[in-house]
Amino acid sequence: MMCIKQIFSRTHRLKVGQVLGAAFTSSRGFHGEQQVSRESSALPIIHHSRYVCDLPPNHRFPMAKFPRVLHFLIKDQVITEEQVWVPEIASKELLSCVHTEEYLNDFFNGKINEQDQRRTGFPWSEGLVRRCRYETGGTVLAAEVALQRGLACSTAGGTHHAFPSYGSGYCLLNDLAVAAKYLMGVSSPKRKILIVDLDVHQGDGTAFIFKEEPCAFTFSVHSGKNFPLHKQQSDLDISLDDGMEDKEYLSTVETHLPLLLETFRPDLVLYDAGVDPHWEDELGRLRLTDQGLYQRDLYVMKTVVSRGVPVAAVIGGGYSRDNDKLALRHSILHRAATQVWRDCGM
């Protein structure tokens, strides 16, 4: 298996910068506390120090991975601090485009019962509410910036198991759905948004939310025998057998993505780049390597951007007791995005 630092040594320049142009220009304000210079020519990275919260000792969710992703990107000189955009906290009004008023009131005010807390995997706390709101704000900001710049990546996001009226599977607010709904609602005509979900688990909450929305297309490639037990129906579901490796996995993605871009013709792609298909992931059932994940991310983003369609990417799921190893694995997305940014002359 090729190590992470070896993955990013090759450069192939594409002449597609002119394709991107004015389609990404926006005069609207951003959902950001702090923005880099509009003159910056580097890949936008969306991060907030409050993407984390305290959890009970030995909790299975790897909360510490979020700041470590940014740490390694800066340490390895993949990005600089000047590239970092800081999102605002997502308001209740923003979240209500997807989630019910009753659920938001209960979640904000600590009225989630024990059974519902067990379904999410988290004990309720004010810190958890704040963390989820900043994470959702980060995905919204990534999508806004992508529309202007062509490509942007958050260091969190991908909470695709959250439904309008309840959370599930470590997901309390559906950031992808909120970003999509918001950006569809503020444009005329309504934007068409393709959600490419390559997390190892089906994006069941997202599929449910958009099942009757013609301007959103949900595409999920996931392990068929993994969580959730009861799947929803995405616009396109690709169920994979246990143990699938790099070559067959990449071939599957390559078979479907170009056709979706040609037929649906999205105005924006939201990309969930979960690393839980990795062979070492504690909750995955596939056998992808670091190199396979890098080639996957590179292919998805380059295929979309080269067609003049902007991409906002989130890190999705990934589970390991070794937070540094996991954070490095998640940083594959941002390393691949940096390569796409250079190759495409963005």
Are 219 and 236 spatial neighbours (Cβ–Cβ below 8 Å)?
yes
Only one residue has tokens 């449910």, namely 208
Is residue 121 in some structural domain? Answer: yes
Mean pLDDT, residues 36-50 taken together: 82
Residue range 306-321, pLDDT digits in tens? 999 999 999 999 999 9
Q: Answer yes or no: is 2 within a domain.
A: no
What confidence tens digit (pLDDT) does each residue in 140-191 have? Answer: 999 999 999 999 999 999 999 999 999 999 999 999 999 999 999 998 899 9
pLDDT band per the 50, 70, 90 thresholds, residue 30: confident
**pLDDT score, position 2:** 34
Q: Look-up: residue for tokens 């704040």?
A: 130
Chain centroid offset of residue 158 CA: 4
Residue 213 lies in a domain: yes
Look at residues 23, 22, 48 and name the one whose alpha carbon lies nearest to residue 35.
48
| Mean pLDDT calculated for residue range 261-272 | 98
Supply angle C-alpha 124, 130, 131, rounded to 5: 90
207 occurs within a structural domain: yes
In a domain, 244, yes or no: yes
Q: Is the pLDDT of residue 36 over 60?
A: no
Residue 15 domain flag = no
Cis peptide before 44 (omega within 30 of 0): no
Counting the structural domains of the chain, the total is: 1
Kindly state the tokens that stand for 333. Answer: 């997305």
CA 236 to chain CA centroid, nearest Å: 18
**What is the tens place of the pLDDT at every residue in 94-141?**
999 999 999 999 999 999 999 999 999 999 999 999 999 999 999 999
Instruction: Count CB-CB contacts under 10 A for residue 113.
Output: 10
DSSP lists the bridge partners of residue 45 as 84, 153
In a domain, 21, yes or no: no
* pLDDT class of 33 with cuts at 50, 70, 90: confident
Residues 6+ apart with CB under 8 A from 180: 143, 193, 195, 210, 216, 270
pTM for this model (two decimals): 0.91
pLDDT of residue 15: 32
Q: Does a structural domain hold residue 242?
A: yes
Distances (CA, A) of 197 to 3, 56, 327: 25, 29, 19
pLDDT band, residue 31 (cuts 50/70/90): confident
- CATH code: domain of residue 160: 3.40.800.20
Residue 197 confidence (pLDDT)? 98
Range of the domain at 92: 45-344
Q: Are 207 and 220 in contact (CB under 8 A)?
A: yes
Strand 193-197 to 151-154 pairing: unpaired
